[in-house]
């Protein structure tokens, strides 16, 4: 009787949540399954017949945002490096050789909100990939000497990034805009923390043990495979991965009450950079104001906007201007970024930006223009879903922010309801001067 009960429990646990991507309510065009193993690992399977390829994404829902302990920034990015050091069964050189022999496209990246590891392989190697990836995520092993070597390489990467004026601008923006929240530091971390990283071997083990746990990870498989077979492989190889995720203790950012400004000198040649950022809200695909802000960024500062046509095309005052009103796990920034051709035009460009903001705060955008933006965004999203890798890469951030693929359909469903009134309200809510941080970067040598 106990055996029958156990079998029924396993059956219920592994019963997939089936989603038909072809329903009228859904924008996502593929059917997919979502499973959660007993240890909390979530598995999303998106079968796409015909390509012969599988995109295998491991999304760890830990990024630089999670580095809440003083003096310990940069470890999420550091583990992007260390995860390729290997295990006892598959040391780093063996792992790399196997990946090469499979002809796999393998890499990783770290962001503020998550770390993503991915391989794109011929489907005949799927079982081997499941074995390799499950092993390194459960059994990563590195000596202190390897840790110190990689920590030195990370500092070299930091110094290399400092040669870019954009890296300087982003670092200064976050440091000025945030006073308490962990978004204050960039993904690579504060320089003093990176310098000290070689002395924190024991801490690195703790970081891995707390955050690289199954309930903090989502496996995303898209491509030419049998979902039932793939699920059995995953259950077999990941089923014994012990849970134990410890959430970070992140301090919320207090409300910003007045504008912040800083002029930054870059030790090199660059055209002036004007970066204006407003405090936004956390991603919620059902929140009309969050979705309206995303559309507002496209309407007010996208390539089809009036300010773009004026400053870039007609007057040729700037190299470009763009609005990045993106999505983040906690409230972050809605940015307006421009590179100005002549330093003397900086006040003029900022004045035009302010006039644009005032216009959107006082006048409703036309229904026709709003609908065009919605259609273009939907079309652009769908056009990217042509290969397994493009599908997985397009979904990774949504899954990292919500741990659920339903967020995509929710986002576009909410978007369809947004009206000109909503855009007006979003401009009035978010684009307030007292919520703004302004960074100007100028080169020391012109």
The H or E element containing residue 425 is: helix 420-430
Contact 212, 245 (CB under 8 A): no
Of the residues 173, 207, 238, the one at which a domain ends:
238
Residue closest to 217 by CA, chosen among 83, 94, 325: 83
Q: Could you identify the residue written with the tokens 């996502």?
A: 28
Asked if residue 122 is part of any domain, the answer here is yes
Same domain, 321 and 230: no
Asked if residue 104 is part of any domain, the answer here is yes
Same domain, 116 and 161: yes
Backbone angles phi, psi at 344, to 5 degrees: -65, -15
Same domain, 271 and 150: no
Asked if residue 153 is part of any domain, the answer here is yes
Asked if residue 10 is part of any domain, the answer here is no
Of the residues 188, 207, 238, the one at which a domain ends:
238
Contact 272, 442 (CB under 8 A): yes
Same domain, 108 and 198: yes
Look up the CATH number of the domain holding residue 318: 3.30.830.10
Same domain, 219 and 302: no
Q: State how far the Cα of 427 lies from the Cα of 134, in Å rounded to an integer.
A: 46
pLDDT tens string for the chain (446 positions)?
333 333 333 333 333 444 544 445 689 999 999 999 999 999 999 999 988 999 999 999 999 999 999 999 999 999 999 999 989 999 999 999 999 999 998 899 999 999 999 999 999 999 999 999 999 999 999 999 999 999 988 999 999 988 999 999 999 999 999 999 999 999 999 999 999 999 999 999 999 999 999 999 999 999 999 999 999 999 999 999 999 999 999 999 999 999 999 999 999 999 999 999 999 999 999 999 999 999 999 999 999 999 999 999 999 999 999 999 999 999 999 999 999 999 999 999 999 999 999 999 999 999 999 999 999 999 999 999 999 999 999 999 999 999 999 999 999 999 999 999 999 999 999 999 999 999 999 998 65
Asked if residue 44 is part of any domain, the answer here is yes
Q: State how far the Cα of 47 lies from the Cα of 29, in Å rounded to an integer.
A: 11
Q: State how far the Cα of 352 lies from the Cα of 436, in Å rounded to an integer.
A: 16
Note the pTM of the prediction, 2 decimals.
0.91
Same domain, 168 and 282: no
Sign of CA dihedral 429, 430, 432, 435: positive
Same domain, 222 and 351: no
DSSP assignment string, 354-372: HHHHHHHHHSPPPHHHHHH
Domain extent at residue 392: 260-443
Q: State how far the Cα of 385 lies from the Cα of 394, in Å rounded to an integer.
A: 8
Same domain, 198 and 271: no
Same domain, 66 and 197: yes
Asked if residue 274 is part of any domain, the answer here is yes
Helix, strand, coil abundance in the chain, percent, nearest 5: 50, 20, 30
Contact 264, 441 (CB under 8 A): yes
Same domain, 223 and 363: no
Contact 136, 240 (CB under 8 A): no
Same domain, 135 and 176: yes
Same domain, 181 and 279: no
Asked if residue 137 is part of any domain, the answer here is yes
Asked if residue 102 is part of any domain, the answer here is yes
Q: How many domains does the chain have?
A: 2
Angle between helices 406-417 and 288-301 (to 10 degrees): 70
């Amino acid at each position: 009787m106990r055996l029958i009960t156990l079998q029924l429990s396993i059956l219920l646990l592994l019963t997939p949540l089936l989603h038909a991507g072809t329903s009228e309510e859904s924008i996502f065009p593929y059917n997919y399954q979502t499973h959660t193993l007993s240890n909390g690992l979530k598995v999303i399977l998106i079968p796409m017949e015909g390509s012969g390829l599988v995109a295998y994404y491991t999304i760890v829902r830990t990024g630089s945002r999670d580095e809440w302990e003083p003096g310990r920034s940069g470890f999420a990015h550091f583990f992007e490096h260390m995860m390729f050091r290997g295990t006892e069964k598959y040391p780093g050189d063996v792992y790399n050789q196997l990946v090469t022999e499979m002809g796999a496209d393998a890499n990783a990246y770290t962001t503020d909100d998550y770390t993503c590891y991915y391989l794109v392989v011929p489907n005949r190697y799927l079982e081997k990939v499941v074995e390799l990836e499950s092993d390194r995520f459960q059994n990563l092993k590195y000596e202190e000497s390897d840790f110190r070597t990689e920590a030195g390489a990370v500092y070299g990467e930091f110094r290399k990034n400092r040669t870019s004026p954009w890296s300087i601008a982003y670092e200064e923006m976050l440091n000025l805009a945030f006073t308490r929240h962990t978004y204050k530091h960039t993904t690579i971390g504060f320089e003093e923390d990176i310098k000290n990283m070689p002395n924190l071997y024991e801490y690195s083990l703790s970081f891995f043990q707390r955050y690289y746990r199954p309930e903090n990870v989502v496996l995303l498989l898209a491509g030419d495979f049998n979902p039932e077979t793939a699920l059995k492989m995953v259950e077999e190889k990941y089923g014994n991965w012990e849970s134990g995720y410890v959430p970070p203790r992140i301090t919320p950012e207090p409300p910003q009450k007045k504008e912040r400004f800083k002029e930054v000198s870059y030790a090199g040649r660059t055209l002036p950079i004007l970066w204006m950022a407003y405090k936004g809200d956390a991603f919620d695909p059902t929140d009309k104001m969050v979705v309206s802000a995303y559309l507002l960024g496209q309407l007010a500062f996208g390539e089809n906007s009036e300010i773009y046509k004026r400053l870039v095309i007609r007057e040729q005052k700037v190299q470009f201007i763009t609005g990045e009103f993106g999505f983040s796990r906690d409230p972050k920034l809605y940015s307006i970024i421009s590179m100005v051709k002549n330093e003397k035009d900086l006040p003029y460009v900022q004045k035009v930006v302010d006039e644009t903001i005032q216009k959107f705060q006082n006048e409703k955008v036309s229904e026709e223009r709003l609908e065009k933006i919605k259609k273009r965004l939907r079309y652009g999203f769908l056009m990217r879903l042509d290969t397994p890798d493009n599908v997985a890469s397009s979904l990774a951030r949504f899954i990292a922010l919500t741990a659920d693929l339903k967020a995509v359909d929710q986002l576009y469903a909410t978007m369809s309801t947004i009206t000109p009134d909503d855009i007006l309200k979003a401009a009035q809510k978010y684009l307030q001067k007292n919520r703004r941080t302004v960074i100007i970067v100028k080169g020391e040598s012109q």
